[in-house]
Amino acid sequence: MSKIFKHKDFSIYIYVEDTDFQGFVYHANYIKFFERSRSDFLSSNNISQEILRKNNLGFVIKRIEIDYLFPAKLGDILVVKSSVEKKSNARMIFNQKIILKKDETPICKGLVEVCLINIDTKKPKPLPDDLLLIFDED
């Protein structure tokens, strides 16, 4: 059975640039918020996307699912909660949800499957050892 690693919560303040003409968060921005939390997960685990890039490696999205539950609006503070599961030595699944900080109202939830690839060949490559280790710790 794969270990599920819970990443620290990631907070986001909603600015006018995040909203549509009605003052609600534009639907595509939730995907950006998920991405910021995933990037924070990598950097918190000493994985530099810049170094990966220099080594011709990069993370790509294999699959994404998102359910919109309640609209966030200008001035809200949101919290992205993420858990990560190793799917294989080259893939991870992020189960993510965004809640309203003040009362924990669920805003949206998503599942994002990420794969590490060689940028030239587009073939899967093993995740960095530092990352694999967090899934093997007891």
Tell me, yes or no, if 20 is annotated catalytic.
Answer: yes
Residue 80's SS3 state is strand
Distance of alpha carbon 41 from alpha carbon 95, whole angstroms: 13
- Report CA dihedral (58, 41, 7, 1) to the nearest 10 degrees: 30
Per the DSSP assignment, residues forming a β-bridge with 91 are: 115
> Residues near 57 by Cβ (< 8 Å), separated by ≥ 6?
116, 117, 118, 119, 125
DSSP label at residue 46: T
Select from 16, 10, 14 the least CA-distant residue to 36.
Answer: 10
Q: Which of 20, 40, 136, 138 is catalytic?
A: 20
Residues serving a catalytic function are: 20
